[in-house]
């Protein structure tokens, strides 16, 4: 398949002003140029082979733009605590990057704050700790789902009281069960914590519908956007837009429900250096103590009293990951310049191309809805009939240099449901980034076809 992206011209209406925001012509080849090191040499049973990387849901390779920017500022970041022009610039970049993130996810520029964390996992741990401080008398009730990554389950499980929403036969979130649970625990649920997109089949959840339900029942919503942010435009809060049109849903302006809290990881968004972010209402976050105490977070300290700074600073004790923040801001800029329309259309083409090819191979068991894939980011999970999951993954790596994930993929409860009643130990997972190419996918298809000869 040769793929050439169309030219897009999109007009966004903000408060009556027309702003042309995208006018690019990108080809698959040009998308490929955005990232670095995708074909590292690795030893395989067939000799040394160029590897092909299909584990982008775990970590993406860095954008070249990110590495260039990091090279530019690496000699400078040590000046951060000194009174020099470089220090001022670097500090300003660190603060400015928070604004880039807020704009990127359409957060409330005034009331939301961006707290830098190590990753999504740490962000969720912070939020669960915030919640327990908000409700010190009893364990707060949190509704989360069977679809979650363990990072969006274990913090709630250990610190809060936790109810799980079921999934449907094809692995989508059961909105019916969510509504039933909210009704059953009327008024008691403090938070609904849900994945923006799932990391095994890639379903995109209707987060604004979920927000509406949560809010109706007096709960807040947290979205784990670890798998969403690199594939879809996020609207945490967007009163200026007349309506939100996504591929899956259209939300009239008066029905747009605010996403109260959101977290994501930079290393899945083409930026290395392990930064994550927790975004949410600064008033709430200012009311409680941080998860981690240390230098840099206080207005004043005596042996008798400590006055903490407001968020986000109160949540960032110790030395900050300045380069991580610069890397993330640069990755965001590159995604913006590329355009979500282009990314989404191209990735959807990779998804359908692969599913259609895999469907032709007898003995491939595909998980999830393979006919209507509009609400899926480019992640595919499968097994081979009568073969051990790990054996398939090893075969693909050892003989064809295909780097993929296998097992429970960090979503133990979900994958166990998918493979229930079978002898599989997990799934084999392919996850694409915006730079993957159809000729790379062809190597997977060839490998699997040979395996089944
Ligand atoms: N949530 C989801 C949906 C994920 O896929 C992952 C990572 N696979 C995480 C959370 C955890 O991300 P991190 O390891 O960056 O904290």
Hey, which of 146, 199, 376 would you mutate to test ligand 1's pocket, going by the most ligand atoms within 8 Å of its Cβ? 199
* Binding site membership of 265 for ligand 1 (Cβ less than 6 Å): yes
186: left (phi over 0), alpha (psi -120 to 50) or beta: beta
* Confidence tier at 273 by pLDDT (50, 70, 90): confident
**Distance between Cα 405 and ligand 1 center (Å):** 14
* Binding site membership of 431 for ligand 1 (Cβ less than 6 Å): no
The last residue of a domain, from among 285, 308, 337: 337
Q: Give a yes or no: residue 306 inside a domain.
A: yes
- 124-135: pLDDT as tens digits: 999 999 999 999
Q: Clarify whether residues 283 and 404 are in a common domain.
A: no
Q: Clarify whether residues 144 and 276 are in a common domain.
A: yes
Spatial distance between the Cα atoms of 230 and 335, rounded to a whole number of angstroms: 8
* Binding site membership of 193 for ligand 1 (Cβ less than 6 Å): no
* Residue 48 structure tokens: 């040394």
pLDDT for 250 = 52
Q: Clarify whether residues 291 and 407 are in a common domain.
A: no
Spatial distance between the Cα atoms of 17 and 30, rounded to a whole number of angstroms: 31
Q: Give a yes or no: residue 416 inside a domain.
A: yes
Q: What percent of the chain has pLDDT over 70?
A: 89
Q: Clarify whether residues 57 and 94 are in a common domain.
A: no
- Rounded to an integer, the average pLDDT of 14-18 is 38
* Residue 144 structure tokens: 């989360």
Of 87-91, 270-274, 352-356, which gets the smallest average pLDDT?
Answer: 87-91
Q: Give a yes or no: residue 36 inside a domain.
A: no
* Confidence tier at 77 by pLDDT (50, 70, 90): confident
pLDDT for 23 = 38
Minimum CA distance residue for ligand 1 atom 8 = 58
**Distance between Cα 119 and ligand 1 center (Å):** 8
* Binding site membership of 120 for ligand 1 (Cβ less than 6 Å): yes
Minimum CA distance residue for ligand 1 atom 7 = 58
The last residue of a domain, from among 306, 337, 368: 337
Q: Clarify whether residues 102 and 118 are in a common domain.
A: yes
pTM (global) more than 0.75: yes
Place of tokens 């994945």: 195
* Residue 6 structure tokens: 């169309």
Which one, of 239, 233, 232, 235, lies nearest residue 221 by Cα? 235
* Binding site membership of 271 for ligand 1 (Cβ less than 6 Å): no
Q: Clarify whether residues 305 and 428 are in a common domain.
A: no
Q: Give a yes or no: residue 25 inside a domain.
A: no
Q: Clarify whether residues 365 and 437 are in a common domain.
A: yes
Give the dihedral of Cα atoms 338, 339, 340, 341; nearest 10 deg.
-120
Q: Clarify whether residues 394 and 271 are in a common domain.
A: no
Q: Clarify whether residues 84 and 131 are in a common domain.
A: yes
* Pairing of the two strands 405-407 and 427-431: antiparallel
Buried b (16+ CB within 10 A) or exposed e, 120-138: bbbbbbbbbbbbbeeeeee
* Residue 69 structure tokens: 């920017």
Q: Clarify whether residues 286 and 364 are in a common domain.
A: no
Residue 277: phi, psi to the nearest 5? -145, 145
pLDDT for 282 = 96
pLDDT for 16 = 38
- Rounded to an integer, the average pLDDT of 161-165 is 98
Assign residue 370 the CATH number of its domain: 3.90.1150.10
Give the dihedral of Cα atoms 384, 389, 394, 395; nearest 10 deg.
-10
3-state secondary structure string across the chain: CCCECCCCCEEEEECCEEEEEECCCCEHHHHHHCECCCCCEEEECCEEEECEECECCCCCCCEHHHHHHHHHHHHHHHHHHCCCHHHHHHHHHHHHHHHHHHHHCCCCCCCEEEEEECCHHHHHHHHHHHHHHHCCCCCCEEEEECCCCHHHCHHHHHHCEEEEECECCCCCECHHHHHHHHHHCCCCEEEEEEECECCCCCEECCHHHHHHHHHHCCCEEEEECCCCCCCCCCCCCCCCECEEECCCCEEEHHHCCCCCEEEEEHHHCCCCCCCEEEEEEHHHHHCCCCCCCCCCCEEEECCCCEEECCCCHHHCCCCCCHHHHHHHHHHHHHHHHHCHHHHHHHHHHHHHHHHHHHHCCCCEEECCCCCCCCCECCEEEEEECCCCHHHHHHHHHHHHCEECEEECCCCHHHHHHHCCCCCCCCEEEEECCCCCCHHHHHHHHHHHHHHCC
Q: Clarify whether residues 157 and 302 are in a common domain.
A: yes
**Distance between Cα 124 and ligand 1 center (Å):** 10
* Confidence tier at 46 by pLDDT (50, 70, 90): confident
* Residue 131 structure tokens: 């919640």
Query: Which residues span the domain enclosing 357?
Result: 41-62+339-451
* Binding site membership of 324 for ligand 1 (Cβ less than 6 Å): no
Question: Do residues 345 and 5 lie in contact, with contact meaning Cβ atoms separated by under 8 Å?
Answer: yes
Of 29-38, 261-270, 341-350, which gets the smallest average pLDDT?
Answer: 29-38
pLDDT for 384 = 97
* Binding site membership of 199 for ligand 1 (Cβ less than 6 Å): yes
* Binding site membership of 410 for ligand 1 (Cβ less than 6 Å): yes
- Rounded to an integer, the average pLDDT of 351-371 is 97
Q: In the chain, how many domains are there?
A: 2
Question: Do residues 37 and 389 lie in contact, with contact meaning Cβ atoms separated by under 8 Å?
Answer: no
Q: Give a yes or no: residue 247 inside a domain.
A: yes
Residue 93, CA distances (Å) to 75, 89, 208, 235 in order: 15, 6, 32, 24
- Rounded to an integer, the average pLDDT of 166-184 is 98
The last residue of a domain, from among 319, 337, 355: 337
Q: Give a yes or no: residue 34 inside a domain.
A: no
Residue 58: asked if its preceding bond is cis (omega within 30°), the reply is no
pLDDT beyond 70 at 249: no
Q: Which atom of ligand 1 is nearest to the CA of 122?
A: 16
pLDDT for 49 = 86
Please list, in sequence order, all residues whose beta carbon lies within 8 angstroms of the beta carbon of residue 453, skipping any fewer than 6 positions away. none
Spatial distance between the Cα atoms of 82 and 66, rounded to a whole number of angstroms: 25
Q: Give a yes or no: residue 420 inside a domain.
A: yes
Assign residue 115 the CATH number of its domain: 3.40.640.10
**Distance between Cα 46 and ligand 1 center (Å):** 33
Q: Clarify whether residues 397 and 285 are in a common domain.
A: no
* Confidence tier at 244 by pLDDT (50, 70, 90): low
Spatial distance between the Cα atoms of 393 and 428, rounded to a whole number of angstroms: 6
Give the CA count within 13 Å in the CB-facing half-sphere of 67.
Answer: 9
Q: Give a yes or no: residue 2 inside a domain.
A: no
* Confidence tier at 188 by pLDDT (50, 70, 90): very high
């Amino acid at each position: 398949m040769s793929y050439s992206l169309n030219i897009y011209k999109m007009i966004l209406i903000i408060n009556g002003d027309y702003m042309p925001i995208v006018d690019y012509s990108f080809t698959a080849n040009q998308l490929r140029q955005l990232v670095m090191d995708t074909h590292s040499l690795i030893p395989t049973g067939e000799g040394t082979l160029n590897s092909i990387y299909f584990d982008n849901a775990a970590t993406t390779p860095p954008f070249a733009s990110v590495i260039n920017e990091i090279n530019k500022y690496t000699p400078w970041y040590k000046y951060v605590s000194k009174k020099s022009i470089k220090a001022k610039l670097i500090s300003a970049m660190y603060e400015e990057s928070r604004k880039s993130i807020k704009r990127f996810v359409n957060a409330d520029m005034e009331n939301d704050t961006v707290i830098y964390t190590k990753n999504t996992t740490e962000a969720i741990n912070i939020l669960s700790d915030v919640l327990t401080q908000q409700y010190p008398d009893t364990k707060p009730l949190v509704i989360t789902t069977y679809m979650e990554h363990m990072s969006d389950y274990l913090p709630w499980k250990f610190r809060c009281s936790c109810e799980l929403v079921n999934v449907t036969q094809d692995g989508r979130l059961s909105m019916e069960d969510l509504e039933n649970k909210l009704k059953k625990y009327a008024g008691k649920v403090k938070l609904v914590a849900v994945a923006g997109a799932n990391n095994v089949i890639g379903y995109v959840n209707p987060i604004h519908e979920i927000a509406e339900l949560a809010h109706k029942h007096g709960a807040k919503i947290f979205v784990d956007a670890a798998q969403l942010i690199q594939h879809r435009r996020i609207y945490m809060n967007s009163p200026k837009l007349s309506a939100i049109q996504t591929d899956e849903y259209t939300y009239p302006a008066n029905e747009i429900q605010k996403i109260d809290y959101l977290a994501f990881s930079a290393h899945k968004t083409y930026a290395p250096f392990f930064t994550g972010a927790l975004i949410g209402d600064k008033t709430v976050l200012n009311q409680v103590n941080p998860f981690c105490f240390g230098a840099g977070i206080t207005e004043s300290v005596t042996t008798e009293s400590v006055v903490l700074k407001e968020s986000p600073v109160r949540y960032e004790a110790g030395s900050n990951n300045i380069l991580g923040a610069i890397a993330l801001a640069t990755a965001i800029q590159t995604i913006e310049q590329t355009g979500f329309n282009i990314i989404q259309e191209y990735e959807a083409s990779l998804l359908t191309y692969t599913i259609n090819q895999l469907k032709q191979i007898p003995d491939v068991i595909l998980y999830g809805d393979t006919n209507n894939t509009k609400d899926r980011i480019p992640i595919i999970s499968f097994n081979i009939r009568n073969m051990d999951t790990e054996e398939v993954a090893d075969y693909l790596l050892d003989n064809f240099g295909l780097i993929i994930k296998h097992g429970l993929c960090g979503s133990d409860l979900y994958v166990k449901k998918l493979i229930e009643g079978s002898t599989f130990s997990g799934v084999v997972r392919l996850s694409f980034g915006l730079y993957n190419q159809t000729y790379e996918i062809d190597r997977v298809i060839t490998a699997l076809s040979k395996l089944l000869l």
